[in-house]
Amino acid sequence: MSENNAISLYDILFNLFKKAISVAYPDVSDPPVIIISNSNERFGDYQCNSAMALSKQLKSDGITAKPRGVAENIVSKVEGSNLISKLEVAGAGFINIYLKKEFAQKTLNTLVKNGKILPPYIKKQKVIVDFSSPNIAKEMHVGHLRSTIIGDSIARLLEFLGHDVLRINHVGDWGTQFGMLIAHLQDRFPDYLSVSPPIADLQSFYKESKARFDTDEEFKKRAYNCVVKLQTSNPDMIKAWQLICDVSRKEFEKIYTRLDIKLIERGESFYQKHMETIVKDLEAKGLLEEDEGRKVMFSKRDNEIPLTIVKSDGGFTYDTSDMAAIKQRVEEEKADWVIYVTDAGQSMHFQVLKHCAERAGILKSCHRIDHVGFGVVLGNDKKKFKTRSGETVKLSDLLDEGLKRTLEKLKERERDKVLTEEELKIAQESIAYGCIKYADLSHNRNHEYIFSFDKMLEDKGNTAVYLLYALTRIRSIARTANISQEKLREMAENIPISLEHEKEWKLAKVLIKFPDVLIKITNDLYLHHLCEYCYEISCVFTEFYNNCYCLEKNDLGEIVNVNMSRILLTEATAIIMEQCFSILGLKSVAHM
């Protein structure tokens, strides 16, 4: 840890108590160190609950020690620290930990002085986040939207923490569907090699070719032939394939630009050579088994279905590309950690993939692999999200509707009369895209999720709209008092933030939890915790603001007194909220 890092309270407390326990009970190997953060102050700001578990452990070693006694013993061994104001043993053997105000005050002053919050210390790693990953020629659907939003936010979190992050779009650009698409292209646009075919609607094009593929035997044969030629790099086939990919790519790009998502495209086709190699590798290691003409690989774990590595016609599959990709990622990219973001329906696939990669010696115990799964998106009717006519919803239409509805809301509030045209547009986009992202991220991703514009555009409760307004209001306090950002930073050097008022102290304690919240999310990759935290900040801020004046005004509404310390606390709140927003992919707005 250094001055360049935010301090994780949890880490410090954990280490202090770990040390105290090992001094108090040197003979206990691997003693339990249990530290929790408390929302109810009566039980301390944090609590160490090791005494109960330790007493049990001692008992099994034949030593009787009551939990309360154990707790007292631990407390007597905790070294003095600039963090703790008081320790007390309560109830059955809980140790209540009370934080020191000076510590929080210093932390917050430094924060405002720096004008930003630094990340907590972590060991830097190379991380690949594989997300979004739609399929070429098929519509990018709401499932891909979820992957895009969740994956982007995870990447933002890891980037903020200082990891070396590679954002990869593993597009489906190499499947058998290309055979029929190319065969159909040859028929519809025979001179595609010289004149770019005007395919505007790739989805109908896909449907047309699929219909022919399903009914026309001769066409089907030609389609198969095209795939074989494509995968052996026939130049005409590659050209046709590129044309089709380009049409899709342009559509995907539009969505990414609108949502401000950065991704490097590296689809299944990228791994063609790697697939050829891995098949040979696995074969040489004797890891492939024959199964009705296919070559499969078992993970050797109970209840796990095998991966299909080579199809009976000799072709590769989704499984082959993922085996090749994982090898390329750890061996060539030197990734320490790979994160896959897809719907929960694929969790078995990634579980088997991980186990097979371990079996093949590609993954070692130092690698971390996560499948970040998520539930399906439902409509208001709790059925699979579809248009009225039962079609998949086009993402661009969805974003358009978000914009339209947001503008209506802004007009209802007569914002169009106060904001300039430019400001209105910024607010509209920030709210529309922000609320779509936030609605997704604020729900536990394992659950199904009901897509509802009415809900996400509500301005009360844990919604993007509420939080965006909250931050805009917080930021406007200093502005009303005519204090610039530079001035705030300068003030932070000289004016210690007072935490004497109960509500000031409460807010400060929420703010200094930020590093711990990030560490928790890094472990479990559940972003809704960050949303809950953000909401907690804005609720506790409101309590503070309603009880502690920042600006005192006279009857004429003129400012007669400015409480500088509180303005600084306000600024600290804004900085942390802003950082949360940035991780969640939300854009704050100066005027809305």
Distances (CA, A) of 30 to 10, 22, 25, 139, 567: 19, 9, 10, 53, 46
- Residue 342 engages ligand ARG in binding (rule: CB under 6 A): yes
- Residues 6+ positions from 69 with CB-CB distance below 8 Å: none
Contact (CB, 8 A) for 239 and 210? no
Single out the residue of 430, 440, 500, 492 nearest to residue 465, CA to CA. Answer: 430
How many other CB atoms are there within 10 angstroms of residue 465's CB atom? Answer: 22
Near ligand ARG by CB under 6 A, which window of 71-79, 129-137, 271-279, 380-388?
Answer: 129-137
Q: How far apart, in whole angstroms, are the C-alpha atoms of residue 237 and residue 227?
A: 8
Near ligand ARG by CB under 6 A, which window of 128-136, 215-223, 289-297, 528-536?
Answer: 128-136
Closest to ligand ARG by CB, 172 or 315: 172
For the CB of residue 141, give the shortest distance to ligand ARG in the complex, in Å: 9
Single out the residue of 365, 577, 407, 567 nearest to residue 478, CA to CA. Answer: 567
In order, the DSSP letters of 247-268 are: HHHHHHHHHHHHHT---EE--G
For the CB of residue 350, give the shortest distance to ligand ARG in the complex, in Å: 8
Closest to ligand ARG by CB, 319 or 516: 319
Token digits of residue 542 = 């409101």
Q: Which residues pair with 86 in a beta bridge?
A: 98
For the CB of residue 23, give the shortest distance to ligand ARG in the complex, in Å: 48
- Residues 6+ positions from 452 with CB-CB distance below 8 Å: 380, 439
Which residue of 8, 50, 55, 133 would you call a contact of ligand ARG, by CB under 6 A? 133
Which amino acid belongs to residue 264? I
Binders of ligand ARG among residues 4 to 23 (CB under 6 A) are none
Which residue of 206, 219, 340, 505 would you call a contact of ligand ARG, by CB under 6 A? 340
Which residue of 31, 172, 434, 515 would you call a contact of ligand ARG, by CB under 6 A? 172
Q: To which residue do tokens 């249990």 refer?
A: 34
For the CB of residue 133, give the shortest distance to ligand ARG in the complex, in Å: 4
Token digits of residue 72 = 């007292």
Closest to ligand ARG by CB, 8 or 342: 342
Closest to ligand ARG by CB, 85 or 347: 347
For the CB of residue 376, give the shortest distance to ligand ARG in the complex, in Å: 13
Rg, C-alpha atoms of the chain: 29
Tell me, residue by residue from 298 to 327, as one string, x for binding to ligand ARG by CB under 6 A and - for no binding: ------------------------x--x--
For the CB of residue 325, give the shortest distance to ligand ARG in the complex, in Å: 6
Closest to ligand ARG by CB, 281 or 322: 322
State the number of binding residues for ligand ARG (CB under 6 A): 10
- Residue 130 engages ligand ARG in binding (rule: CB under 6 A): yes
DSSP category for residue 329:
I
For the CB of residue 475, give the shortest distance to ligand ARG in the complex, in Å: 39
Q: How far apart, in whole angstroms, are the C-alpha atoms of residue 391 and residue 384?
A: 11
Which spans of this chain sit near ligand ARG (rule: CB under 6 A)? 130, 133-135, 170, 172, 322, 325, 340, 342
